[in-house]
Structure 1
């Protein structure tokens, strides 16, 4: 990694072009990789990046098929494979050690990556991480093989509407402005994403089990919103119980999008956790 300050690029991983961004102020700064959630992108970290980029080299990745990453129907969209994409990106950038920060589904991907490569990822921060979800119901998986099923997915997402979806993930709705709506809506202007989401239904294997979580020994910080309607705070408490070296913290009057709702507080918690003595 010999480039400085900010740049964005793509890396071909498993045959698809994966979009990533690098914020690098000082060569000696520790590396932090930010992993977004389902139906999201690196955009969700826009408020905490400015608060952390002085002390960390920050790398954001758009997981397939989200954000600016190629929307492929050939890629296997399992959490295991997404974790491998994160690993390959780190390896391709010659990173030897890094911290992982994952929001929602990105938390589950981060846990997968940490489990696969404990030598590469030193610590994990989970922001309202998904947990204990089973694989897709067989009937839905069967539906993904039906021609034009992707149009049903498109119709369902359109019927929800971006404002309704954002109202569900933030507690303080006054935070929702045009910039926020545009940022979360942009990846869905490309129709290819719905075909890829159809493939994702087929590939989804479910979250890590309690037994698998107990094998993840890296220190982990769990940050939640008490009013999270998507992944209830009880899931975070259960994850803390299963992850052997974990710390849990929750914010009052906060929903699922903690990086958007509490950027200063979240950044402070992350900073304190990552720079404390090993």
Structure 2
């Protein structure tokens, strides 16, 4: 049964946050907060919401600078501020216990949220969201090393924000790109091309190094809190390869790990395998 999904806005600190929310059949259904990645937005989860939203309450916001969320002029785009707005969003919805689905940029946002409010988190679904230096490819290390004063650095970042760059993030590492729905990367590019969006992404790219500095804190959180965890990972991700998935087992030896022969956007190619894993995980950890 396909879920019924609502599409709404919520004002948080002057940011008009767009989000998708499924309406499950049970009022006490487990809650899963879906944190999207770069360069996408909540629309990347629409098929997952259709698949699971009738059984679980799935909530997917767009960050400032992404999708349909509208940020005021002068908003500072950093990972700390993305986490601030996400935290405010959670408070406005009145959520107090939920699992986190962290993908790509959703890792830095979600781990900041978990650091601040570990009592909120019932479990983690981790999909190509890196928290270990061994999980960075050489290309990712070179990209993160870019600084505003490095000659050509901003040009390098902006080259990734083109239609060719966006499409490449979906198709690299995928054995058969024909299985990728072009609507995903086409819609991503539409939002990237809106006024001010590329400037926001450049600022976040230069801020990404702040996440590496926090890796030891996130790893400590995992060891100390030992949240239940399901790791589903595209093993051929050009940015966050398979060693980043296995590294979680150092701190969460009981985590459930599944590697899939695909790239960064694993849900695009392996939804039929990943959705049942998420359903089983949510059933085990309960509401």
- Confirm whether residue 227 of structure 1 aligns to residue 226 of structure 2: no
Q: Which has the higher helix share?
A: 2
CA contact 1:213–1:243 (8 Å) conserved in 2: no
In the TM superposition, residue 211 of structure 1 has moved relative to its aligned partner by 4.5
Match of 2:174 among 170, 173, 191: 170
- Confirm whether residue 237 of structure 1 aligns to residue 246 of structure 2: yes
Residue number in structure 2 paired with 1:189: 193
- Confirm whether residue 141 of structure 1 aligns to residue 148 of structure 2: yes
List per-residue Cα deviations over 1:95-134 (Å, max 9, x = no partner). Answer: 2211110112212322221221111121111011123368
Q: TM-score, normalising length from structure 1? A: 0.84
Residue number in structure 1 paired with 2:94: 94
Residue number in structure 2 paired with 1:17: 16
- Confirm whether residue 80 of structure 1 aligns to residue 77 of structure 2: no
* Inter-partner Cα distance in structure 1 for 2:41 and 2:72: 16
Aligned pairs, how many?
A: 270
Residue number in structure 1 paired with 2:45: 45
* Inter-partner Cα distance in structure 2 for 1:270 and 1:260: 15
CA contact 1:100–1:125 (8 Å) conserved in 2: yes
* Inter-partner Cα distance in structure 1 for 2:189 and 2:109: 22
List per-residue Cα deviations over 1:241-261 (Å, max 9, x = no partner). Answer: 13465332212x222211111
In the TM superposition, residue 156 of structure 1 has moved relative to its aligned partner by 4.9
Residue number in structure 1 paired with 2:215: 209
Q: TM-score, normalising length from structure 2? A: 0.82
CA contact 2:31–2:99 (8 Å) conserved in 1: yes
In the TM superposition, residue 236 of structure 1 has moved relative to its aligned partner by 0.9
Moved more, 176-185 or 190-199: 176-185
In the TM superposition, residue 224 of structure 1 has moved relative to its aligned partner by 1.0
- Confirm whether residue 158 of structure 1 aligns to residue 162 of structure 2: yes
- Confirm whether residue 266 of structure 1 aligns to residue 267 of structure 2: no
Residue number in structure 2 paired with 1:257: 265
Moved more, 89-98 or 212-221: 212-221
* Inter-partner Cα distance in structure 2 for 1:156 and 1:129: 19
CA contact 1:33–1:59 (8 Å) conserved in 2: yes
> What root-mean-square deviation, in Å, do the aligned CA atoms of Structure 1 and Structure 2 show?
2.9
Q: For structure 2, which runs of at least 5 residues remain unmatched after alignment?
A: 134-140
Other structure's SS at 2:172 match: helix
Structure 1 136/155 Cα, relative in aligned 2: closer, same or farther at 3 Å?
A: closer
Q: For structure 1, which runs of at least 5 residues remain unmatched after alignment?
A: none
CA contact 1:8–1:19 (8 Å) conserved in 2: yes
